[in-house]
Amino acid sequence: MQEGENVNDPILTESVLPGLDNSVFIQAPQARHDLVRDLVVNESMGVVYSLDPGRRRRNRQAETRAIVDYTRHRAPRAPIMVDANLYSGRNRKTGSQGLTAGWTDFQQTVCSLPYALTDSGYIGEHDVAALDTVLAAADKLTGRVVTVLPLHWKWLTEHLDVLKARLEAFGRPVALALENKTDPLGEKGAAAGLCSLIATGVPILLLRSDTSAIGALAYGACGVAVGTESGLRHVYPIVNGSGAPAMTSILVPELLTYYTLDKVGDAIQLNPDLNLWTCRCLHCGGRRLDWIRFHGAAADQAFGHSLSSLSALARSIAATPASLRPEAWTEMCQNAQLAHYQIKKVNEEETWEGKSVLREWSLVTPTRTGA
């Protein structure tokens, strides 16, 4: 948390959807609603709960009502959205299977959520028919609905023109969840494609993201959701029946990148005097990041630190005039790339290199998002 910033206020940008009282959300599994609830209060963020895709429909509705009520009891002002998450898991739903109208009705009438997210299935590379099926079904829904589009990352590059044409014709809010085995926005041209999509004026939200959420916000996304764990920072492809790897990572704010606790801890031992290890987020309060590695509840502390740090970054961007946000984000990414070169490896002759996503964001030509 930076000095002078007020965490009692929600993080808002001009592009936020009408009736949505925040631009930045925590995205967390339904099982972590207890910890998320306190973070939502402390950081004044919204929350997107990702449901267990293996749950039966009846259980899904009952559990959704329970976690919404639990969160509202502690954080009555926090906006809540619920992602059915049926596009992930071993037996994931596909876009060609359409949508369940009753699911969006339930979110609006029973749970009184500000916006309902559709229970869309996965839309693979080249699968224009599945995209059309989801959009056609969503066009029949009433109320404040955001159509979830779980997309293969190449929709932002090779198939961008098709996607832009479909979304411009659709004209209603959509939420992207991008699939790749690593960082989808680290792929060549993907960050630029996302910015081009946002520039169409179609209301775009970005789900299941990491620090790229701040970039999307800078370029005018209506809202972003930052995953609390590795499996919720993008959509993982299903390979041999497996999905996202289980690991505990933390955000190093000066590097704008998540690294595993062990990697950060080992790097601090080799480079103990670098200022970039000192974190001034609300959760860390000026401590060196290796305090988390040796905590008895390291995963929970990593969870709290990373979200608090991202909240501070988002507030910094939101406080910047809209026309200057893209340039500010580019500068942040370039500085993060340079900061990597300060970290020496074991042989002391080599240094860390910034991940490809920093390079891709740095290559996007800043464009004005508003006055």
* Interval 31-50: pLDDT, tens: 887 777 777 877 889 999 99
Report the distance separating Cα 218 and Cα 329, nearest Å. Answer: 7
Residue 27: closest CA among 260, 205, 196: 205
pLDDT of residue 56: 64
Q: Exposed/middle/buried for 322, CB within 10 Å: 0-12, 13-18, 19+? A: middle
Alpha-helical segments (H) within the chain? 33-43, 57-74, 101-105, 128-138, 160-170, 190-198, 212-218, 261-270, 290-293, 298-318, 325-340, 356-363
Terminal-to-terminal C-alpha distance of the chain: 27
Mean pLDDT over residues 342-347, rounded?
92
Yes or no: domain 24-232 corresponds to CATH 3.20.20.120: yes
Report the distance separating Cα 244 and Cα 129, nearest Å. Answer: 27
Which 3 state secondary structure label does DSSP give 280?
coil
Output the six-digit token pair for 3.
Answer: 């000095």
pTM over 0.85: yes
* Cα–Cα distances in angstroms (integers) from residue 89 to residues 66, 86, 240, in the given order: 23, 7, 12
Mean pLDDT over residues 101-112, rounded?
95
Report the distance separating Cα 268 and Cα 290, nearest Å. Answer: 7
Query: Residue 73 pLDDT > 50, yes or no?
Result: yes
Sequence-distant (6+) residues with CB within 8 A of 236 are 88, 179, 181, 243, 244, 245
Q: Could you give the residue range(s) of every CATH 3.20.20.120 domain in the chain? A: 24-232
CB distance 226 to 312 below 8 Å = no
Residue 296 pLDDT level (bands cut at 50, 70, 90): confident
Which 3 state secondary structure label does DSSP give 7?
coil
Q: What is the pLDDT of residues 18-32, one digit of tens each?
A: 999 999 999 999 888
Cα dihedral 300, 303, 308, 311 sign: negative
Query: Residue 4 pLDDT > 60, yes or no?
Result: no
Mean pLDDT over all residues of the chain? Answer: 91
Q: Exposed/middle/buried for 121, CB within 10 Å: 0-12, 13-18, 19+? A: buried
Output the six-digit token pair for 91.
Answer: 């037996």
Residue 257 pLDDT level (bands cut at 50, 70, 90): very high
